Chains A and B, each alone.
Chain A
Amino acid sequence: MTLKSEPFVVNLGPQHPSTHGVFRLRLTLDGERIIDADMVMGYLHRSMEKLAEERTYTQNIPFTDRTDYLAAMTGNLAYVMAVEKLMGIEPPERALWLRTIMSELQRFASHCMAIGIFANDCGAWQTPVMHMFRDREKILDLFEMACGARLTLNYMRIGGVSRDIPPEFIPAARKLMQDLPRRLAEYESLLLDNEIIVARSRGIGVLTPEEAMAYSVSGPLLRASGVAWDIRTADPYAAYDKVDFDIAVGTSGDVYDRFVVRLAEMRQSLRILEQALDMMPSGPIHARLPTATAQPGDAPVAPLALRPPVGEAYARIESPRGELGFYLVSDGGPAPFRFHIRSPSFINLSALKKMTVGVTVADAIVILGSVDIVVGEVDR
């Protein structure tokens, strides 16, 4: 007797506990093994790029909080850098250091989430996430001190930052710098050598350097594949050229290496933060912007908006998820003519099919967790 068998299509998402939002993965299964994977995106599409064309350059900053909502600081930063490039503004020194500090705090907080959720996807029932949240909360406290918000920060401004840090910020940050290395050591001992984590993630979802580059993958994914590529050193921005830190690189491009690279990057973030807290100069936090005057035909909402000269600019930074770039085209008006986000989540996600075909359902979840997507940024 022969048994009839046929492939089996499962829609993982858009409502699913571990698609990290409303992302849908259409898997064709042969038993537990995946023979085809389709990614369906767009469930969180909010048309940000088009909306931004109707708003002034300053009004667009809050949008950048809401693309990658786990790393609002870096989203802000990449956008204001693009506008500054367009207008030829140089932010003052202190603002650059503040941006560096905030970016690194944000990277630590975001990697906390990435690692915690990854462990959750491996099946650790919430415990790592909750422990990581403990540290992330401390960082969010610092953000709250600096700008009053915890998640959608809206801290960066064109030409600087929105306000200077309060006097209690530096002592609080220094205290955190003392606590976090201990916590990191705890996570390393709990997760890095955890037999089950190792068994679940080693050799899974391998991307070779060639594949990674062909898919234009960036961030921890690219570095886990062994490519020493970090925009902070390759194309320094803010104050990264003045601090000493290393690029964390994996060697085998699997899920485990991504996780290892993120943990190592958290240590490097702490290194950068310690230097930055020591080296930050005092001074102004905002550059003088060219005075704008109302033009005939202006929309009433924006009579005094910034008007960058006609041209285009692309600014990129190393966000926690990879190369985050903003491409702006100005027609000389108060709103960008074109506003495009090169979002690392979206581009990293494009390699998912390559990684998931041939593995089991359980592995696919772990691989998706290791890509560390934020659906707000995938769909924008």
Chain B
Amino acid sequence: MTFLAPWYDLRDLGNAVQALLDRIRDWGAPDWVPYAVSSLIGAVGILLWVVLSVLAFIWIERRVVALMQNRIGPNRVGPAGLLQPVADALKLLLKEPITPRDADRILFWMAPIVIFIPTLVIFAVIPFGGRMVLADLNVGVLFLIAIATINTPAVFLAGWSSNNKYALLGAMRTIAMLISYEVVQVLALLAVVLFAGSMRLGDIVAWQQHYNVWIVFLQPLGILAYIISGAVEINRSPTDISEAESEIVAGYHTEYGGIKFGFFYQAEYMAGFAIAAIITTLYLGGYTAWGLEKWVPGWALFLGKLYAVFFIYIWSRGTLPRLRIDQLMSFAWKFLLPLSLVNVALVGAEVLVWDETGVSANVALPIIGAVNLVFCLVAVVAWARLLGHGAGRQRGRRALLTKEVGVIHFEPAEGASPGPAGIPAAQALRRRSGQA
């Protein structure tokens, strides 16, 4: 941003901060003071925003899922139940902090903190607006990947230290899952970085603004892979395997109650917002929208997109059943990973050719977008067919309808072992029907 905006220009809250810092400098304060003040403002701002968003979205998610399920949802505490999340948070705060007798006390206390802080730190590099970024690192994407990975050991800390079998199972599942999907995530981000030619998130947004194109149009496969691996990372259905309620009760945080559970809960939502923020920044143009940012505050655009992306996760939670861990793993290694690898190679080739030939972006970008869209569709369908998930084979069977009692219609499915040869069927049936 080159123009000098007045402090009250709300299109970018960075203006106000800048004005304040200038004023401090005018007072003759040493250099570290404005630096510290700006960091403090950023940190407090992000923390406030995250906490308020989480509270709001707990309510929104519960109401939306309730709508999907023919229910009403929380509507008693406050107007339309709006204060329900506050009441829940208070309840968690006031509960007795219980540590199981056989738990590893230090690790048990550490885990919620270890999972909470990195998730919050992710937001430091996210540009909420042109100047609304706490730390505009030149290795922003790398930072995101590195910080997001800290979740994994934290989950394992929780699962291991609580000395609970469900927790251990959940932790085990989480490690296996996250390691697989981190790879896919990195590959998806790599393709974006190849386009923008920079790891600085601000530059990636600026690139999208400059060419007036969101990277989602150039990277349909990338955003699919990222949304899916994001769902894995934040334990959302259909990949909520590490805290699968119907199987392992609550997974790695089974033994946690009170505010420690609150930390996990908050961290999970925050991770969801972080994933949505990354998708918004890298794929959906961040705080820009084809010139609309001149009229509408950039941060409002950013938040709007972020919440829209997060809504996808709410939606999937209300609709999809859960995959089994081996299915999820083979989906990562057999399906997403090869396709992402080919995708990176394809994007590399495209960027290289574009650079070498030097055609204008108005020609090159539509071609690249079309090629990648076709590649995405063809590759997904062809690869799924190749792995045996063709439309015909996976279709469900229907029941046979018959009027003849006692007839056996059994076709052992391939791979099913024949049972022990027991009573001959017809004889057994006669015996059961008393018609011997």
Residues of A within 8 A of B (CB): 8-11, 16-18, 31-32, 119-127, 130-131, 133-134, 192-200, 202-203, 206-211, 213-214, 216, 225-230, 233-235, 246-254, 256-257, 260-261, 263-264, 268, 360-363, 365
Q: In the complex, what's the smallest C-beta–C-beta distance from B337 to chain A, in angstroms?
A: 19
Given A200-B322, A235-B433, A249-B399, 15 more A-B residue pairs with CB atoms under 8 Å apart are A10-B165, A18-B246, A32-B173, A32-B325, A126-B65, A127-B65, A127-B69, A199-B394, A208-B419, A213-B428, A213-B432, A226-B411, A234-B433, A362-B247, A362-B322
Known contacts A8-B165, A123-B244; A249/B400 CB under 8 A: yes
Whether B68 and A227, one on each chain, are in contact in the complex, defined by CB atoms closer than 8 angstroms, is: no
B106 at the interface (CB under 8 A from A): no
B346 at the interface (CB under 8 A from A): no
Whether B246 and A228, one on each chain, are in contact in the complex, defined by CB atoms closer than 8 angstroms, is: no
Whether A249 and B423, one on each chain, are in contact in the complex, defined by CB atoms closer than 8 angstroms, is: no
B169, B245, B422: the one contacting A210 at CB < 8 Å is B422
> What per-residue 1/0 map shows which CB atoms of B322-338 lie under 8 Å from chain A?
11111100000000000
Whether B247 and A247, one on each chain, are in contact in the complex, defined by CB atoms closer than 8 angstroms, is: no
Whether A361 and B321, one on each chain, are in contact in the complex, defined by CB atoms closer than 8 angstroms, is: no
A193, A194, A211, A234: the one contacting B321 at CB < 8 Å is A194
Whether A360 and B325, one on each chain, are in contact in the complex, defined by CB atoms closer than 8 angstroms, is: yes
What are some 17 contacts across the A-B interface (CB < 8 A)?
A: A122-B321, A123-B238, A123-B244, A125-B245, A199-B327, A208-B410, A213-B423, A216-B432, A227-B406, A228-B406, A228-B408, A234-B405, A247-B401, A247-B405, A253-B410, A360-B324, A365-B246
A9, A17, A235: the one contacting B249 at CB < 8 Å is A17
> What per-residue 1/0 map shows which CB atoms of B116-156 lie under 8 Å from chain A?
00000000000000000000000000000000000000000
B241, B322, B409, B418: the one contacting A226 at CB < 8 Å is B409
Whether B318 and A362, one on each chain, are in contact in the complex, defined by CB atoms closer than 8 angstroms, is: no
Q: In the complex, what's the smallest C-beta–C-beta distance from A74 to chain B, in angstroms?
A: 19
Whether A228 and B404, one on each chain, are in contact in the complex, defined by CB atoms closer than 8 angstroms, is: yes
Residue of A nearest to B68 (CB): A127
Known contacts A124-B321, A360-B325; A252/B68 CB under 8 A: no
Known contacts A127-B318, A226-B409; A196/B246 CB under 8 A: no
B68, B71, B166, B407: the one contacting A228 at CB < 8 Å is B407
* Chain B positions within 8 Å of A126 at CB level: 65, 69
* Chain B positions within 8 Å of A216 at CB level: 432
> What is the interface of chain A mostly: helix, strand, loop, or mixed?
mixed
Residue of B nearest to A235 (CB): B433
B237, B396, B402: the one contacting A125 at CB < 8 Å is B237
Known contacts A123-B240, A226-B408, A251-B411; A193/B395 CB under 8 A: yes
Q: How distant is the Cα of A194 from the Cα of B103 in the complex, in angstroms?
A: 41
Known contacts A130-B71, A206-B413, A251-B400; A10/B419 CB under 8 A: no
Q: How distant is the Cα of A57 from the Cα of B327 in the complex, in angstroms?
A: 54
B403 at the interface (CB under 8 A from A): yes
Whether B169 and A361, one on each chain, are in contact in the complex, defined by CB atoms closer than 8 angstroms, is: yes
Q: How distant is the Cα of A133 from the Cα of B401 in the complex, in angstroms?
A: 27
A123, A207, A250: the one contacting B237 at CB < 8 Å is A123
* Chain A positions within 8 Å of B410 at CB level: 208-209, 225-227, 251-253
Q: How distant is the Cα of A95 from the Cα of B340 in the complex, in angstroms?
A: 66
Q: How distant is the Cα of A202 from the Cα of B416 in the complex, in angstroms?
A: 11
* Chain B positions within 8 Å of A125 at CB level: 65, 237, 240, 245, 317-318
Q: How distant is the Cα of A358 from the Cα of B240 in the complex, in angstroms?
A: 23
Q: How distant is the Cα of A81 from the Cα of B432 in the complex, in angstroms?
A: 19
* Chain B positions within 8 Å of A198 at CB level: 394-396
Known contacts A121-B246, A361-B248; A251/B409 CB under 8 A: yes
Residue of A nearest to B320 (CB): A196
Q: How distant is the Cα of A228 from the Cα of B244 in the complex, in angstroms?
A: 36
* Chain A positions within 8 Å of B24 at CB level: none
* Chain A positions within 8 Å of B318 at CB level: 125, 127
Whether A260 and B423, one on each chain, are in contact in the complex, defined by CB atoms closer than 8 angstroms, is: no
Q: How many residues of B contact A (CB 8 A)?
A: 67
B415 at the interface (CB under 8 A from A): yes
Q: How distant is the Cα of A130 from the Cα of B319 in the complex, in angstroms?
A: 12
B246, B324, B404, B415: the one contacting A120 at CB < 8 Å is B246
Q: How distant is the Cα of A38 from the Cα of B25 in the complex, in angstroms?
A: 74
Whether B408 and A209, one on each chain, are in contact in the complex, defined by CB atoms closer than 8 angstroms, is: yes
B246, B416, B422: the one contacting A123 at CB < 8 Å is B246
Q: How distant is the Cα of A8 from the Cα of B167 in the complex, in angstroms?
A: 13
Whether B413 and A202, one on each chain, are in contact in the complex, defined by CB atoms closer than 8 angstroms, is: yes
Whether A18 and B425, one on each chain, are in contact in the complex, defined by CB atoms closer than 8 angstroms, is: no
B246, B399, B400, B428: the one contacting A17 at CB < 8 Å is B246
B421 at the interface (CB under 8 A from A): yes
Whether B396 and A207, one on each chain, are in contact in the complex, defined by CB atoms closer than 8 angstroms, is: no
Whether B415 and A362, one on each chain, are in contact in the complex, defined by CB atoms closer than 8 angstroms, is: no
A122, A127, A229, A257: the one contacting B429 at CB < 8 Å is A229
Task: Give the residue among A17, A121, A127 with the most B Cβ atoms within 10 A.
Answer: A127
Whether B425 and A362, one on each chain, are in contact in the complex, defined by CB atoms closer than 8 angstroms, is: no
Whether A17 and B419, one on each chain, are in contact in the complex, defined by CB atoms closer than 8 angstroms, is: no
* Chain B positions within 8 Å of A234 at CB level: 405-406, 433
Task: Give the residue among B166, B169, B400, B432 with the most A Cβ atoms within 10 A.
Answer: B400
* Chain B positions within 8 Å of A200 at CB level: 321-324, 327
B399, B413, B421, B432: the one contacting A260 at CB < 8 Å is B399
Q: How distant is the Cα of A268 from the Cα of B400 in the complex, in angstroms?
A: 12
B30 at the interface (CB under 8 A from A): no
Q: How distant is the Cα of A203 from the Cα of B410 in the complex, in angstroms?
A: 13
> What per-residue 1/0 map shows which CB atoms of B14-53 lie under 8 Å from chain A?
0000000000000000000000000000000000000000
B397 at the interface (CB under 8 A from A): yes
Residue of A nearest to B238 (CB): A196
Whether A209 and B425, one on each chain, are in contact in the complex, defined by CB atoms closer than 8 angstroms, is: yes
Residue of B nearest to A190 (CB): B319
Whether B400 and A250, one on each chain, are in contact in the complex, defined by CB atoms closer than 8 angstroms, is: yes
A11, A235, A249, A263: the one contacting B409 at CB < 8 Å is A249
Q: In the complex, what's the smallest C-beta–C-beta distance from B33 to chain A, in angstroms?
A: 50
Whether B396 and A193, one on each chain, are in contact in the complex, defined by CB atoms closer than 8 angstroms, is: yes
B325, B401, B418, B421: the one contacting A249 at CB < 8 Å is B401
* Chain B positions within 8 Å of A193 at CB level: 395-396
Whether B247 and A361, one on each chain, are in contact in the complex, defined by CB atoms closer than 8 angstroms, is: yes
Q: In the complex, what's the smallest C-beta–C-beta distance from A300 to chain B, in angstroms?
A: 41
Known contacts A134-B70, A210-B421, A233-B403; A123/B322 CB under 8 A: yes
> What per-residue 1/0 map shows which CB atoms of B60-90 lie under 8 Å from chain A?
0000010011110000000000000000000
* Chain A positions within 8 Å of B358 at CB level: none
Known contacts A126-B69, A196-B238; A250/B396 CB under 8 A: no
B412 at the interface (CB under 8 A from A): yes
B398 at the interface (CB under 8 A from A): yes
B291 at the interface (CB under 8 A from A): no
> What per-residue 1/0 map shows which CB atoms of B214-254 lie under 8 Å from chain A?
00000000000000000000000110110011111100000
Q: In the complex, what's the smallest C-beta–C-beta distance from B250 to chain A, in angstroms?
A: 9
